[in-house]
Amino acid sequence: MNFIKILLLLFFSYSLNADPINLINFKKPDGLYNFYIEIPAGSKQKWEVNKTNGKLEIQKTKKGKRIIKFIGYPGNYGFIPQTLADDGDPIDVIDLEESSTRGSTIPMNIIGGLYFEDKKKIDIKMIAINPNGNFKNILNLDDLLYQKPAIAEILKKWFLNYKKPGKMVFIKYINKVEAEGIIKKSHLSWKKNNKMY
């Protein structure tokens, strides 16, 4: 095998195992945010990118694979790369589309979010809309609450109930401007903690 083939093989292998938290840009030039999917809509398996090695893995408990003991995720769930939230993880995102491929990255419009406390710690879930998807006419949280109020209620109820009762507490909805401010702040936090990127 010649030198160029070895380099191509190494590059291809690296790109398949590249760390999506740090190596995918958080935002596209057109203003959409990159959304990395860890858990497809409808799934009950809890998958997460390992912050140490950058690999997408199923979470494990003492009893084995972590399975949500509730109805499946009501949308694709994952995060915005190159962000660092107050809980030490990337910013959480849920979209309103049908199931997508685990490990894929899709450009999304963030329209707002749900502000929860989890064990008295801030836990924000951003709501994403695919600009080419079924809900492309929903541009902000007000649109969602006016046009499809049941969706906002379903998301809120799901997050309040997928863990042990009382663990999550809903505080408020977050509008688009506030959501973008939180994402910007979390991107700056990521940059401070990852000076090599």
Other CB atoms closer than 10 Å to residue 31's CB: what's the count? 10
With CA atoms as reference, report the closest residue to 99 among 37, 161, 169, 186.
Answer: 37
Instruction: Give the whole-angstrom CA distance, residue 140 versus residue 91.
Output: 18
Sign of CA dihedral 37, 164, 83, 132: positive
pLDDT per residue rounded down to tens, the chain (197 residues): 554 444 433 343 344 446 999 999 999 999 999 999 999 999 999 999 998 899 999 988 888 899 999 999 999 999 999 999 988 999 999 999 999 999 999 999 999 999 999 988 999 999 999 999 999 999 999 999 999 999 999 999 999 999 988 899 999 999 999 999 999 999 999 999 987 66
Predicted pLDDT of residue 9: 38
User: One-letter amino acid identity for 145?
Assistant: L
- pTM, full prediction: 0.88
Instruction: Give the whole-angstrom CA distance, residue 145 versus residue 148.
Output: 6
Predicted pLDDT of residue 16: 42
Other CB atoms closer than 10 Å to residue 196's CB: what's the count? 4
What DSSP line would sit under 42-96, residue for residue? Answer: T--B-EEE-TTT--EEE-EETTEE-B-SSSPPSS-EEEESS---TTSSPEEEEES
Predicted pLDDT of residue 36: 98
Which domains occur in the chain, in start order? Answer: 20-193 (3.90.80.10)
CA 171 vs CA 74, 113, 114, 151: distances in Å: 20, 11, 8, 17
- Which H/E stretch holds residue 190? helix 176-193
Other CB atoms closer than 10 Å to residue 51's CB: what's the count? 12
Predicted pLDDT of residue 128: 98
Predicted pLDDT of residue 123: 95
Predicted pLDDT of residue 11: 42
User: One-letter amino acid identity for 144?
Assistant: L
